[in-house]
Structure 1
Amino acid sequence: MTADVLKQFTRRPPPPGERCELCGEPLPSEHRHLVDTARRSLKCACPPCHLLFIRPGAGQGRFRAVPDRYLTDPGFALDASDWNRLQIPVGLAFFFRNSALDRLTAFYPSPAGATESELDPETWDAVLGHTRLTGILEPDVEALLLHYERGTPVTCTLVPVDVCYELVGRMRLHWKGFDGGAEARADLAEFFRRIETAARPLAPDTDPAPDPGGNA
């Protein structure tokens, strides 16, 4: 996915009356998504259409169901020096494995939208390669979401990729001025509380399989 493609995910949540982009059925405001691997974009999907593409290779791999799992690795830690190596100018970044390029691609949200980091892949691998989350990350449909606040450890959570686009949209919607303003900071705090509540830790020596149906 390119930065231009990511811009389409910076809008508000879908309005009432939106329909499934595959079959045309009406959708609730909270619904699931598919990744269109040919166009490198997301499509809104009703439950039956989402279910069709849970199995790997379904539909010749054109569409992939975005899973609904949130995971942390208790044995993995990043500190300020690790963060500095990533050269991310803000305290937020997300990484997903682009299947077409077969490598991690990094973006960070900003008031202008999602910006792709140009740091070399070897550095990403050096910093993130020793967490088990990288090893189980599903290409295109899941991401590693990193959050850093000065004086605290960097958090790293495996999330559905559409959650990252939601984060980009929230920042565009609420950010004001240089530091974002009180509304943006409160919104981000609520967003990460939700992520923390949803995430569960990986068990020692366990590599869980993804469950696009929603049961991590």
Structure 2
Amino acid sequence: MTTEGALARLIRSSADRATAAGAEVCDLCAAPVADEHAHLYDTGQAEVRCVCGPCSVLFADAKAAEGHHRLVPRRRVRLPHLDTAVLGVPVGLVFFVPRTDGTVTAEGPSPAGAMRWEVDASAWKELTGTCPQLAGMEPDVEALLVNTVHGLDHHWIVPIDDCYRMVALVRREWRGLSGGGRVWPAVEEFFEDLTERS
């Protein structure tokens, strides 16, 4: 019996127990993860993956895995009002993600998932000129999250996994053509939770 074989059996056994219990597991080692756990951004697949504490330590250095997996930061910063209209995105609930290649994408939640646009680079530069904190965002793993629906004025720098949670929430709560009576109260609650967690 090799050590490698024993380790593989231990990992499989842990994953099987967690799956049977309905618990979430680390996408790297299959160990159970707590409700509040770290995430990795898989740059090749453009997906967020759950990771346990020990595995997250492996990716604390941005150069780990040659940038293919990046640890998603946990900071949440509420910003003052920003004139995001200069970015030319015609929706009030949207997030903007600077990419490592220098582009910026805008993504808005919908009943079918996230809609995506590319933002004009000069417009993004103009906006970052009015708010220097935007220039310090980590590409791919942080986003500018905006909610101006129903007269609200929320502008946040958040981890990308918060944005994906918001997209899932909209998709889950949306009813009919206009969203119905559940989606917008749920979105407002999501932003109240951001305030509590920041």
Q: In 2 relative to 1, CA 116–129 (structure 1 residues): closer, same or farther, beyond 3 Å?
A: farther
Contact 2:76 2:157 in 1 (8 A): yes
SS in 2 for 1:197: helix
Deviation at 1:39, TM superposition (A): 2.5
| Inter-partner Cα distance in structure 2 for 1:187 and 1:25 | 31
TM-score scaled to structure 1, two decimals? 0.74
Alignment map for 1:195-210 (pairs within 5 Å): 195-199=194-198
| Inter-partner Cα distance in structure 2 for 1:126 and 1:134 | 11
Tell me which residue corresponds to 1:112: 112
Contact 1:16 1:29 in 2 (8 A): no
Q: Which amino acid aligns with 1:138?
A: E
| Inter-partner Cα distance in structure 2 for 1:47 and 1:178 | 42
Deviation at 1:149, TM superposition (A): 3.0
Contact 1:137 1:143 in 2 (8 A): yes
| Inter-partner Cα distance in structure 1 for 2:27 and 2:177 | 37
Q: In 2 relative to 1, CA 150–189 (structure 1 residues): closer, same or farther, beyond 3 Å?
A: closer
Tell me which residue corresponds to 1:193: 192
Q: Which structure ranks higher in relative contact order (CA pairs < 8 Å, sequence separation ≥ 6)?
A: 1
Of residues 68, 74, 78 in structure 1, which corresponds to 2:74?
68
Q: Which amino acid aligns with 1:113?
A: G
Tell me which residue corresponds to 2:174: 175
Instruction: Structure 1: state its 5+ residue gaps.
Output: 1-13, 200-216
* Greater fraction of residues in helix: 2
| Inter-partner Cα distance in structure 2 for 1:105 and 1:129 | 18
Tell me which residue corresponds to 1:8: none
What percentage of residue pairs aligned between the two structures are identical? 38
Tell me which residue corresponds to 1:16: 22
> Is 1:78 the counterpart of 2:82 in the alignment?
yes
Contact 1:97 1:103 in 2 (8 A): yes
Q: In 2 relative to 1, CA 95–25 (structure 1 residues): closer, same or farther, beyond 3 Å?
A: same
Deviation at 1:150, TM superposition (A): 4.8
Q: CA RMSD in A?
A: 2.2
Alignment map for 1:33-112 (pairs within 5 Å): 33-74=39-80, 77-79=81-83, 82-83=84-85, 85-99=86-100, 101-112=101-112
| Inter-partner Cα distance in structure 1 for 2:119 and 2:136 | 22
| Inter-partner Cα distance in structure 1 for 2:145 and 2:191 | 10
Deviates more, 1:85-94 or 1:18-27: 85-94
Deviation at 1:103, TM superposition (A): 2.1
1:159-187 CA-partner distances (Å, limit 9, x unpaired): 01000000000000001123312211111
Instruction: Structure 2: state its 5+ residue gaps.
Output: 1-18
1:111-156 CA-partner distances (Å, limit 9, x unpaired): 111011244222233234421221110111111101113545x321
